Structure 1
Amino acid sequence: MEFAEVLRRRRMVRAYDPDRPVPAEVRDRILRHALRAPSAGFSQGWAFLVLESPVDRARFWAATAPTTTTSWLDRMSTAPLIIVPLSHRDAYLDRYAEPDKGWTDRDEARWPVPYWHIDTGFAALLMLLTAVDERLGACFFGIPPTRTDRFREEFGVPAAYTPIGAVTVGYRADDAVSPSLARGHRPMTDVVHFGQW
């Protein structure tokens, strides 16, 4: 598929065919492409928790979902693959304390924004685009902060790693069109500023 077509087709998909698992070679391609994301200082401060078995996926939803079920959750939970991208701040602080970077400490205040989260988000975006290129659907969504500790405990995630969200992947099922799409894309004239705001 041409790149422009991948971008045109990219949507957050919230309903999946539960009877069609993502083939292992496609899953691996999604993960390999995520590793091609840019990272400051080539720190690569990320990790990816892959959940494919019905038991692991059920554990994920039990640990992260609100206590009341919704139609959104019912549809999302049909995804046969969940990938949780995790950022690793210490990988960046350690990397930038190395001699070639010129800093002599690990002071987090030197960073204008938390690049460890941004770069992990770049990796998640490459997963979304690869899913489209493989003719799959995918959705990035957040894990509620009140459920993060439970998620960590359930899957043994070390404290040094932060889940920046989760990505569901699978073959798209028929679903209602999100009312948010009616808003359309903001025009370039509203968001692009040349030379001055």
Structure 2
Amino acid sequence: MEFEDVVRRRRMVRRYAERPVDPAVVDRMLDHAVRAPSAGFTQGWAFLVLDTPSDVALFWEATSPEPDASNRWLDGMRTAPVVIVPMSDKGAYLDRYDESDKRTHDWPVPYWHMDTAMASLLILQTAVDEGLGACFFGVPGARTGAFREAFGVPDHLKPIGAITVGHRVADTGSPGSPARRPRRTDVVHRGRFRE
């Protein structure tokens, strides 16, 4: 698939077919993710791959405010056969930027999160290129402790979200709006902002 097609076809998919995802495809997604840019080439990220029915079920149990609750979004998302949880490691950046070639901690934004987000986008784009669907979403802050406990996640790693992956089904649009929101055209500015 051409890169432009990958970018234009990328959508957040919220319902998946009952077909497993080839483990080799998941490996390609992760291989692409670890090639994302990172400040100081720190690579302060980790990816937890949940690709068995029991691990995926445990993820939903640990991260759902009401594990037995049912709603259209959650019911659709629970059909994903794979969940990847990207996590950032702030300490890796503090250590890297204490090294002699860096020696600065003056970050205008938390690059540990930014870099992990860029790696996450590569997972989403690879899913499209492989003919799959994927969705990035947040893990509720109140459920982070239960998630950590369920999967033995070390304290120094912070989940920045989660990505469901699976084969797309026809019903992948948002049921809440009668029409898709158009892409904004007022977000690109050349030279300077104008009123």
Same fold (TM over 0.5): yes
**Residue 111 of structure 1: SS of its match in structure 2?**
coil
Structure-2 separation of matches of 1:151 and 1:8: 33
Q: Specify whether residues 149 and 44 from structure 1 end up closer, same or farther in structure 2 by C-alpha distance, changes over 3 A only.
A: same
Q: Which has the higher helix share?
A: 1
1:182 to 180, 183, 188: 180
Matched, 1:133 2:117: no
Q: Give the match for residue 2 of structure 2.
A: 2
Q: Specify whether residues 116 and 181 from structure 1 end up closer, same or farther in structure 2 by C-alpha distance, changes over 3 A only.
A: farther
Q: Give the match for residue 120 of structure 1.
A: 116
* TM-score, normalised relative to structure 1: 0.93
Counterpart of 2:9, as a letter, is R
C-alpha RMSD of matched pairs (Å):
1.2
Instruction: Give the ranges of 4+ consecutive aligned residues of structure 1 lying more than 2 Å apart after TM superposition.
Output: none
Structure-2 separation of matches of 1:39 and 1:60: 28
Q: Structure 2 stretches of 5 or more lacking a match?
A: none
Q: Give the match for residue 73 of structure 1.
A: 74
Counterpart of 1:90, as a letter, is G
Q: Give the match for residue 60 of structure 2.
A: 61
* TM-score, normalised relative to structure 2: 0.94
- Give, in angstroms, the shift of residue 176 of structure 1: 5.3
Contact 2:36 2:122 in 1 (8 A): yes
Contact 2:14 2:172 in 1 (8 A): no
Structure-2 separation of matches of 1:120 and 1:10: 18
Structure-1 separation of matches of 2:172 and 2:133: 14
Structure-2 separation of matches of 1:92 and 1:181: 43
- Give, in angstroms, the shift of residue 174 of structure 1: 2.4
- How many residues matched? 189
Q: Specify whether residues 145 and 125 from structure 1 end up closer, same or farther in structure 2 by C-alpha distance, changes over 3 A only.
A: same
- Give, in angstroms, the shift of residue 15 of structure 1: 0.4
- Give, in angstroms, the shift of residue 180 of structure 1: 8.1
Aligned ranges for residues 90-169 of structure 1 at < 5 Å?
90-103=91-104, 107=105, 110-169=106-165
Counterpart of 2:79, as a letter, is T
Contact 2:127 2:133 in 1 (8 A): yes
Q: Specify whether residues 69 and 26 from structure 1 end up closer, same or farther in structure 2 by C-alpha distance, changes over 3 A only.
A: same
Q: Give the match for residue 83 of structure 1.
A: 84
Counterpart of 1:3, as a letter, is F
Structure-1 separation of matches of 2:179 and 2:33: 26
Counterpart of 1:12, as a letter, is M
Q: Structure 1 stretches of 5 or more lacking a match?
A: none
- Deviations 1:80-119, CA, capped at 9 Å, x for gaps: 110000000000010000011134xxx5xx2111000010
